[in-house]
Each structure stands twice: as structure tokens, then as C-alpha cells.
């Protein structure tokens, strides 16, 4: 059993009793999903050996996107797919962070606030990329990933955008490249994001809840070159399919306290923090997203439904693309989980069908 699953199994009832009446429904569902994942309470899968006919029943996973057991195998597949979509240009990563004064409002109004962050940050990027002083393109393209946690599992909402260094003309038949390792002016990006957020929160009635001085200070926005984009994809892949913390960072759990390791920004030294199990669950659950909320969003020519395919954009970027196509960049596919082997003859077993829990109970 995954150690995070063990913590939720041991202390989930206590947490529900303590915070139940005030808990969002998504938190209740997440607790239930993590506790029952691969225990038989989510149904079972029937496998059969094609060689000797032996059957095997395997417990089903819960499928919840916040479950650390279910999501651990999906990161590699996501990174692989994103690397296949890379364009032959310099990439940039831009990170948009909100000040601490806005965090309480964000946590209490997550769907509205996170949507506003995506909208305002993407609009600021598109506006500045269109400026002739920077890229000068009519159609920018990028994708963003929402993270809500810091390295100590604290609440720290921010969005990472991965941005190809350039954009398309209005007629979509010309590529405008970014100037070397520079995309847009960071201070202008920060102030535009701040102004758009103020307007967006005013429109939904949340502005009075935020201290006025939050709008006079500089907001933290970064934008840096990340080479061909591969390292950025791997970096995001470590976070995009999980919530708050991976089981590998938990170094000890004695039934009451959880000890985990973390690194401060800019340091490779491991530090350690110990939390009681209830506080660990609280910190974990504050990063559960609203139901149906999309934490990864694509914009412009990086959108899956954009009229011009990426193949055509590659050709626009580099006249040597015909040569590049003959020598494609090799991207290693992720390792697939090992197939279930028959305990009698060791042959790979074949999946037959899924049995829901209510069918199992009836039988």
C-alpha cells in the first residue's frame, strides 16, 4: 500500500469527524477514493492466461486524478506526448505567481480565481508577444499548467507556461521568431498581469476582499529561456500528474506523524519537516481542484483544434525541415507497466472484463 494511502486509511475517519461539516464535496470524494484504491472496493478486473486457462482477479484502481496510486504511471506518458509536439525553436518558461495577500481569497473561490489567473496571464502573454518590440506576431501559442503547492505542501498557487519562441502572422503563413534568448519584458508582463487580475476580480465581486496594497507592489513573474523545451517538459512532468507530494519524498511514518524531505528553491540540500497526520491530510487536500477544472490549458497555435497543424508550423519555422524530417529527434517512449504474468506457467495474462463492486457483492 502506498504510504500516502496508508496515512489516509489510518486517519481519514478522524479527519472527516473533525472537519466534515465544512469540507467541500471534492475533498470527501478524494479521501474515499484514496482509501479504497486497489482494495477491491472499486471493483475488480478478470484476467485469463491464454496458454493454460488459469484466471486471476485484480483489484481496480479508483481513477481519481488526485490519487497518488493512480497517477504515478501517467507522468511519463504525458512527457512523451509533449516532447513529440516540440517545435524546432527556442522555448521559454514563464511563471505567474500571486502575492500572499490574495491566497485566502483564492482558496475560498478556487474555480473563479484559478480561471481568472489562466485568462489574465494568457492574455498578457499574447498581448506582449504581439508587440513589435518583442516578437511581433499575430498568433502566439503556448500551454499552461496550474500548480497550487510549494515544496512544504503549503498553499502557493502559480501557473507555469511553456512557450515556443515565436508566433504566426495573421495569414498564418509566416513565422516570427523571438530574439534569441529574449521573449518579452518581464516587468511589463508582471504589471499587465496584475492590472488584468484586478479588473477580473472586480467583475466577479472579489476585489473588496483583497488589501489595497496588494495592487501597488510588484508581482512575481518570471520568464526565461529553456533551450529546446525538453528539460521543461520533464520538470513539469514530475508535477502535472500528482498532488502536493510524491510518496518517494516521505521518509518516515510512525502511525501518527509524517516526516518528509524537501529542497529550498536554488538549493540541492535536503531538508526535513515533520507534521502530524491530520495536518498532512489538510495540506494535501487544500490542493484538490474543483470538480471538472482543467489544470492544463493550451492557447493559440498550440491548441489541439488550431486550424494549422504543427507539421506545417515546423515547415514555416525552418526551411531545413525536410532535412530535419529525415533525421528526426529521437524521443524515448515511456516504459510500459509490466504485464501480469500467470502464476502457473508465467505467460502474459489477457484482460477479459471489469466487474463493478455491486456485481461482486451480488455474487
Please say if the pLDDT value at position 246 is more than 90.
Answer: no
Q: What percent of the chain has pLDDT over 90?
A: 70
Mean pLDDT of 165-194: 94
On whether both 60 and 84 belong to a single domain, the answer is: no
- Residue 22 gets the label, from left (phi > 0), alpha (psi -120 to 50) or beta, of alpha
pLDDT digits (tens, 9 = 90+) for 186-223: 999 999 999 999 999 999 999 999 999 999 999 999 99
- Least-confidence region, from 235-239, 265-269, 320-324: 320-324
On whether both 45 and 82 belong to a single domain, the answer is: no
pLDDT digits (tens, 9 = 90+) for 259-276: 999 999 888 899 999 999
Considering only CA atoms, give the Rg of the chain. 24
Residue 360: pLDDT band with limits 50, 70, 90: low
Mean pLDDT of 300-323: 83
Residue with cell 482558496: 107
CA atoms within 13 A on the CB side of 340: 17
On whether both 55 and 82 belong to a single domain, the answer is: no
Residue 157 in domain: yes
The string of DSSP codes covering 33-101 is: HHHHTTTTTT-EEEEE-TTT--EEEEEPP---TT-HHHHTTHHHHHHHHHHHT--SS-EEEEEEE--GG
Angle, helices 74-84 vs 230-240, to 10°: value is: 150
Please say if the pLDDT value at position 157 is more than 70.
Answer: yes
Query: What integer pLDDT is reported at residue 319 of this predicted model?
Result: 61
Query: What integer pLDDT is reported at residue 358 of this predicted model?
Result: 62
On whether both 54 and 186 belong to a single domain, the answer is: no
Please say if the pLDDT value at position 328 is more than 90.
Answer: no
Residue 257 in domain: no
Residue 326: pLDDT band with limits 50, 70, 90: very low
3-state SS assignment for residue 267:
coil
Residue 276 in domain: no
Mean pLDDT of 223-251: 89
Query: What integer pLDDT is reported at residue 357 of this predicted model?
Result: 75
In 3D, which of 174, 116, 165, 177 has the Cα closest to residue 141?
165
Domains in the chain: how many in total? 2
Q: Determine the Cα–Cα distance for residues 221 and 191; give it in Å rounded to an integer.
A: 9
Full residue range of the structural domain in which residue 119 is found: 74-244+287-326
Q: Which residue has the higher pLDDT, 116 or 315?
A: 116
Q: Determine the Cα–Cα distance for residues 60 and 70; give it in Å rounded to an integer.
A: 10
Please say if the pLDDT value at position 151 is more than 50.
Answer: yes
- Least-confidence region, from 116-130, 135-149, 304-318: 304-318
Q: Record the pTM.
A: 0.89
> Are the beta carbons of 181 and 110 closer than 8 angstroms?
no
Question: Which sign, positive or negative, has the C-alpha torsion 194, 195, 198, 200?
Answer: negative
Residue 143 in domain: yes
On whether both 127 and 215 belong to a single domain, the answer is: yes
Q: How far is CA 360 from CA 47, 63, 310, in A?
A: 15, 19, 47
Cell numbers found for residue 75: 507522468
On whether both 152 and 37 belong to a single domain, the answer is: no
Residue 64: pLDDT band with limits 50, 70, 90: confident
On whether both 124 and 188 belong to a single domain, the answer is: yes
Q: Determine the Cα–Cα distance for residues 86 and 118; give it in Å rounded to an integer.
A: 22
Query: What integer pLDDT is reported at residue 320 of this predicted model?
Result: 44
Q: Which residue has the higher pLDDT, 319 or 67?
A: 67
Residue 267 in domain: no
Residue 251 in domain: no
Q: Determine the Cα–Cα distance for residues 101 and 286; give it in Å rounded to an integer.
A: 17
Q: What is the mean pLDDT of the chain?
A: 90
Q: Determine the Cα–Cα distance for residues 250 and 280; give it in Å rounded to an integer.
A: 11
Residue 13 in domain: yes
Amino acid at each position: 500500500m502506498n504510504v500516502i494511502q496508508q496515512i489516509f486509511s489510518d486517519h481519514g475517519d478522524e479527519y472527516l469527524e473533525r472537519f466534515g461539516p465544512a469540507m467541500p464535496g471534492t475533498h470527501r470524494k478524494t479521501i474515499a477514493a484514496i482509501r479504497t484504491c486497489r482494495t477491491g472496493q472499486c471493483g475488480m478486473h478478470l484476467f485469463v492466461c491464454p496458454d493454460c486457462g488459469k484466471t486471476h482477479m485484480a483489484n481496480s484502481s479508483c481513477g481519481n486524478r488526485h490519487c497518488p496510486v493512480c497517477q504515478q504511471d501517467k507522468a511519463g506518458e504525458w512527457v512523451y506526448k509533449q516532447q513529440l509536439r516540440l517545435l524546432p525553436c527556442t522555448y521559454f518558461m514563464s511563471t505567474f505567481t500571486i502575492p500572499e495577500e490574495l491566497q485566502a481569497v483564492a482558496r475560498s473561490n478556487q474555480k473563479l480565481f484559478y480561471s481568472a489567473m489562466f485568462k489574465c496571464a494568457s492574455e498578457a502573454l499574447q498581448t506582449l508577444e504581439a508587440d513589435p518590440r518583442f516578437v511581433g506576431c499575430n498568433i502566439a501559442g503556448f500551454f499552461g499548467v496550474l500548480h497550487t503547492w510549494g515544496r512544504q505542501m503549503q498553499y502557493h498557487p502559480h501557473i507555469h507556461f511553456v512557450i515556443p519562441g515565436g508566433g504566426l502572422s495573421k495569414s498564418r503563413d509566416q513565422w516570427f521568431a523571438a530574439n534569441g534568448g529574449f521573449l518579452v519584458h518581464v516587468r511589463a508582463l508582471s504589471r499587465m498581469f496584475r492590472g488584468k487580475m484586478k479588473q477580473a476580480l472586480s467583475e466577479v465581486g472579489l476585489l473588496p476582499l483583497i488589501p489595497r496594497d496588494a495592487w501597488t507592489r510588484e508581482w512575481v513573474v518570471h520568464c526565461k529561456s529553456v533551450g529546446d523545451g525538453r528539460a521543461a517538459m520533464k520538470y513539469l512532468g514530475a508535477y502535472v500528474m500528482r498532488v502536493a507530494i510524491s510518496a518517494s519524498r516521505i521518509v518516515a511514518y510512525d502511525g501518527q506523524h509524517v516526516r518528509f524531505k524537501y529542497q529550498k528553491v536554488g538549493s540541492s540540500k535536503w531538508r526535513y519537516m515533520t507534521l502530524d497526520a491530520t495536518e498532512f491530510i489538510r495540506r494535501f487536500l487544500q490542493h484538490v481542484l474543483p470538480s471538472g477544472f482543467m489544470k492544463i490549458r493550451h492557447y493559440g497555435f498550440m491548441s489541439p483544434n488550431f486550424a494549422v497543424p504543427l507539421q506545417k508550423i515546423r515547415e514555416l519555422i525552418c526551411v531545413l525541415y525536410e532535412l530535419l524530417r529525415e533525421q528526426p529527434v529521437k524521443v524515448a517512449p515511456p516504459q510500459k507497466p509490466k504485464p501480469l504474468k500467470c502464476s502457473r506457467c508465467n505467460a502474459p495474462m489477457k484482460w477479459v472484463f471489469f466487474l463493478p463492486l455491486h456485481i461482486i457483492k451480488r455474487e
